[in-house]
Amino acid sequence: MKNLFIDKEIKYTGKELSPHWIYKNFNICGDCIVAFVGEVDVRLDEMVDIEDVINVEPISSKKMLNFIIECFDCSLSEMVWRQRLFVAIIKETLEKYGKKVERQGDDLFFNGKKLSVSIATKSITSTLVHTALNVVSQGAPIEVSSLVDMGIDNIEKLAQDVMSAFCAEVESIYLAKCKVRGVIE
């Protein structure tokens, strides 16, 4: 799996969670993960989480660390598993930084306040995940925690550490699948 930290601010509107967005904008074809920092403003008509739409809960923040994952060989169920694994890897990485974070499904919390958003979806050609961590706590529709609140200031290093750990885990899973002998009853 390829990965890239995009060293320019990008506003995330929800339109970026679409097939081949990474390929069209950053020339990375195939299974990949990218990270970037930017404002988040997802209007209800761009949201893929129907529950949030029903509850009229748009997503916004002045600055978030965004991750987009695209895979071409996963069902939606498999991608939700990868999403949960990815969020667990973020939690583990933050704990290596000495930060105590709680995980509930695909959500992370710091000091009892929501730190992240995450969604998995399916397109006609691929499955996709968007996960984002608040860099600052301003601009969200609810009270949230942030990486700044946690004392994390090197956002690119955090993103690289998370992406490297996720890519290593995906590769390890692939090798585990390839090394076993099939059994017949």
Q: Does 23 reside within a domain?
A: yes
Q: Does 69 reside within a domain?
A: yes
Q: Does 174 reside within a domain?
A: yes
Quote the pLDDT of residue 180.
93
Q: Number of folded domains in the chain?
A: 1
- Give me 146's structure tokens: 């942030």
Tell me: the pLDDT tens digits for 145-165?
Answer: 999 999 999 999 999 999 999
Tell me: the pLDDT tens digits for 41-62?
Answer: 998 888 888 888 888 888 999 9
Return the H-helix or E-strand segment holding 117.
strand 116-122
Q: What is the CATH number of the domain that holds 27?
A: 3.30.930.10
Which residue range(s) make up the domain with 136?
Answer: 2-178
Look at residues 113, 13, 129 and name the one whose alpha carbon lies nearest to residue 71.
129
Q: Does 172 reside within a domain?
A: yes
Question: Counting Cβ atoms within 10 Å, is residue 149 exposed (0-12), middle (13-18) or buried (19+)?
Answer: middle
Q: Does 184 reside within a domain?
A: no
Query: How far is Cα 49 from Cα 157, in angstroms, rounded to an integer?
Result: 29
